[in-house]
C-alpha cells in the first residue's frame, strides 16, 4: 500500500490557441454564433496505454478518446469554478432525502456508433465494470465509488445508485470525464474489448490510431445533440517533447495543446505569432503528490512521512517554480479560489503548510531523530517521465529534502524505473484528471 502526501502545489493551466488556418472554426473563440466545419488539430504529450477509460488514469487516454463517448453527467464547461454539474446522457436526477439513493433519468433516442439504442442496461453494465470490476480486468476509479452498495436499472431509461453512506461528491464523481458508457452486449461477450477497440455514443466516431503519430475522429452525423458537433473532425498528434510541441504550434502544424505550456514557452509563442495566438490561463485541478510505500521501512513510520512534508517550503516553491513550470498556487486538494477550496487560514494550520519554514524544518529533523533515522539517509526517487511539471518539480523536491539532511540517492525521471533492491522508495505522481482534467 502507499501513502500519498500532497506536495501542496497546484498546477496552472496555460493553454495556447493558435488561429492559424481556416480549418479551425470560429467557435474556438467562443463567439455567439459558432461556425460549423473544419478540423481541430491538437497535441497530446502521451499516448494511451490502452483505449479503456475505466482502466486508465492518464490524460493520454482522455484527450484523444473522450470525444467518442458520453458520460452520465459532466462538469459545466462554462463554469470557471469547475463545481457545477450539468446533464450529459442523464437529462435529470433526484437524490433521496437521506442522501443514499441517486436516481438518474436517461435521454431517449441516444444511439451508439453502430446504430443501436443506448439504454440503462448499458449504463449499468458500464458502472458495474467501474465499481465492481471482475477479476479479469481492473478499474482505476473503483476507489472513488466505495460508497456505492448497488447499481440498478429499474427500467430502460432509469439508472439508480444506492449508497452505503451519504457522499457529498457523488454527483461530481458521476461527472468524471473517464466515466464512459460502453455497450452492455459487448461487455457481456468480452469485458476487455474496449481496451483495444472504440465504440461509444459521442459526437465523433473513430477513424484511426497510428501509434507514435496521431489519432483521428470524424463528426458523428447521428449524434443525439442535434446541430453538434460543430467540427467536421479532430486530429490528435502524439508529441512528447515540450520543444517539439512548441515548434508544432509555431510552425502552424497544430492549433492547441490542452495540457499546458510553461511560462517561457508561452512567451516564446506569443513573441513568434503575436495576434495569431490566444492564451488562456486558469487554475488547474492538478495536485502534485508524493506517494510512499508505507509497507516498507522507513515509510512505515508516520514520523518519517510527516518529516518529508514538513521539509517543503511550498510558498517559496510556488513563487519560484511558477517562473519555469506550470505550478502556481499553494492549495489543498481543491482548486484555489473555488467554493470547495480550503481557506488559506485553515490550510496554514496543517503540517507542511506552516508559514514559518524554519520551525517546520526543525520539527522535521526532530521527527527523523526520534524515528531513529540517521542524518544523511537516502532513498530512491522515481518521477513521471513527462517534462511539465514533473521534471522541475522533482528537482525542487530533492533540493527541499536535502534541507533536512535527506536525499534522493538515485533520482530517475521515468515512471517505469525500478528502485535498488532493499531501498525505500518515494514516488512522485499526479492523481486529480477530475479527474477532471483531468490531471493524472
Helix (H) or strand (E) holding 283: strand 277-293
**Predicted confidence (pLDDT) per residue in 105-139, tens digit:** 999 999 999 999 999 999 999 999 999 999 999 99
Does 10 score more than 70 pLDDT? no
Instruction: Please state, in angstroms and as integers, the Cα–Cα distance from residue 413 to each residue in 240, 395, 429, following that order.
Output: 14, 10, 11
**Predicted confidence (pLDDT) per residue in 247-296, tens digit:** 999 999 999 988 888 888 889 999 999 998 888 877 766 777 888 988 99
Domain of 315, CATH number, reads 3.10.105.10
Domain boundary among 152, 185, 218: 185
Q: Provide the pLDDT for residue 375.
A: 86
Domain membership of residue 41 (yes or no) is no
**Predicted confidence (pLDDT) per residue in 79-112, tens digit:** 888 889 999 999 999 999 999 999 999 999 999 9
Domain of 108, CATH number, reads 3.90.76.10
How many whole angstroms separate alpha carbon 176 and alpha carbon 156?
23
The residues with which 283 forms a beta bridge, in sequence order, are 12
Domain membership of residue 190 (yes or no) is no
Q: Rounded mean pLDDT of 199-223?
A: 98
Please give the residue range of the domain that contains residue 371: 302-415
Domain membership of residue 197 (yes or no) is no
Domain membership of residue 311 (yes or no) is yes
Please tell me the pTM assigned to this model.
0.78
Q: How many domains does one find in the chain?
A: 2
**Predicted confidence (pLDDT) per residue in 17-67, tens digit:** 654 433 333 334 445 678 899 999 999 999 999 999 999 989 999 999 999
Domain membership of residue 292 (yes or no) is no
Max mean pLDDT range (37-41, 379-383, 415-419)? 37-41
pLDDT band at 387; cut points 50, 70, 90: confident
Domain boundary among 185, 204, 228: 185
Q: Quick check: bond before 439 cis, omega within 30?
A: no
Q: What is the DSSP letter of 24?
A: S
Domain membership of residue 366 (yes or no) is yes
Domain boundary among 185, 213, 228: 185
Domain membership of residue 308 (yes or no) is yes
How many whole angstroms separate alpha carbon 415 and alpha carbon 386?
9
Residue 193 · residue 187 · CB < 8 Å: yes
Does 395 score more than 60 pLDDT? yes
Can you give the C-alpha Rg of the chain in angstroms? Answer: 23
Domain membership of residue 327 (yes or no) is yes
Amino acid at each position: 500500500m502507499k501513502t500519498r502526501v500532497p506536495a501542496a502545489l497546484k498546477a496552472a493551466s496555460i493553454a495556447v490557441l493558435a488561429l492559424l488556418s481556416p480549418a479551425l472554426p470560429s467557435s474556438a473563440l467562443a463567439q455567439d454564433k459558432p461556425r460549423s466545419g473544419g478540423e481541430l488539430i491538437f497535441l497530446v504529450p502521451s499516448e494511451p496505454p490502452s483505449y479503456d477509460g475505466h482502466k486508465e488514469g492518464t490524460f493520454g487516454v482522455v484527450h484523444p478518446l473522450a470525444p467518442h463517448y458520453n458520460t452520465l453527467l459532466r462538469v459545466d464547461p462554462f463554469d470557471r469554478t469547475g463545481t457545477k454539474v450539468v446533464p450529459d446522457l442523464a437529462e435529470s436526477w433526484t437524490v433521496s432525502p437521506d442522501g443514499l439513493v441517486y436516481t438518474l433519468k436517461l435521454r431517449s433516442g441516444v444511439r451508439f456508433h453502430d446504430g443501436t439504442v443506448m439504454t440503462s442496461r448499458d449504463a449499468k453494465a458500464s458502472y458495474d465494470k467501474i465499481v465492481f470490476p471482475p477479476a479479469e480486468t481492473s478499474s482505476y476509479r473503483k476507489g472513488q465509488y466505495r460508497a456505492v452498495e448497488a447499481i440498478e436499472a429499474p427500467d430502460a431509461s432509469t439508472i439508480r445508485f444506492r449508497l452505503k453512506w451519504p457522499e457529498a461528491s457523488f454527483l461530481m464523481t458521476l461527472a468524471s470525464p473517464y466515466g464512459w458508457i460502453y455497450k452492455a452486449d459487448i461487455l457481456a461477450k468480452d469485458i476487455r474489448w474496449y481496451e483495444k477497440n472504440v465504440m461509444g455514443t459521442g459526437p465523433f466516431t473513430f477513424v484511426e490510431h497510428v501509434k507514435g503519430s496521431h489519432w483521428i475522429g470524424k463528426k458523428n452525423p447521428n449524434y443525439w445533440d442535434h446541430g453538434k458537433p460543430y467540427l467536421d473532425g479532430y486530429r490528435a498528434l502524439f508529441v512528447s517533447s515540450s520543444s517539439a510541441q512548441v515548434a508544432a504550434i509555431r510552425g502552424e502544424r497544430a492549433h492547441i495543446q490542452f495540457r499546458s505550456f510553461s511560462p517561457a514557452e508561452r512567451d516564446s509563442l506569443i513573441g513568434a505569432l503575436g495576434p495569431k495566438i490566444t492564451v488562456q490561463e486558469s487554475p488547474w485541478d492538478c495536485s502534485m503528490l508524493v506517494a510512499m510505500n508505507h509497507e516498507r521501512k522507513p515509510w512505515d513510520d508516520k514520523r518519517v512521512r510527516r518529516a518529508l512534508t514538513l521539509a517543503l517550503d511550498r510558498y517559496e516553491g510556488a513563487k519560484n517554480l511558477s517562473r519555469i513550470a506550470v505550478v502556481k498556487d499553494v492549495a489543498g486538494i481543491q482548486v484555489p479560489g473555488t467554493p470547495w477550496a480550503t481557506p488559506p487560514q485553515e490550510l496554514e494550520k496543517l503540517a507542511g503548510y506552516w508559514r514559518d519554514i524554519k520551525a517546520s524544518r526543525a520539527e522535521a529533523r526532530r521527527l527523523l531523530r526520534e524515528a531513529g533515522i540517521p542524518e544523511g539517509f537516502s532513498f530512491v526517487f522515481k518521477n513521471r517521465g513527462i517534462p511539465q511539471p514533473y521534471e522541475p518539480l522533482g528537482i525542487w523536491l530533492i533540493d527541499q529534502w536535502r534541507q533536512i539532511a535527506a536525499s534522493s540517492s538515485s533520482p530517475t525521471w521515468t515512471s517505469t524505473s525500478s528502485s535498488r533492491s532493499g531501498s525505500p522508495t518515494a514516488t512522485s505522481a499526479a492523481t486529480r484528471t477530475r479527474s477532471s482534467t483531468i490531471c493524472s
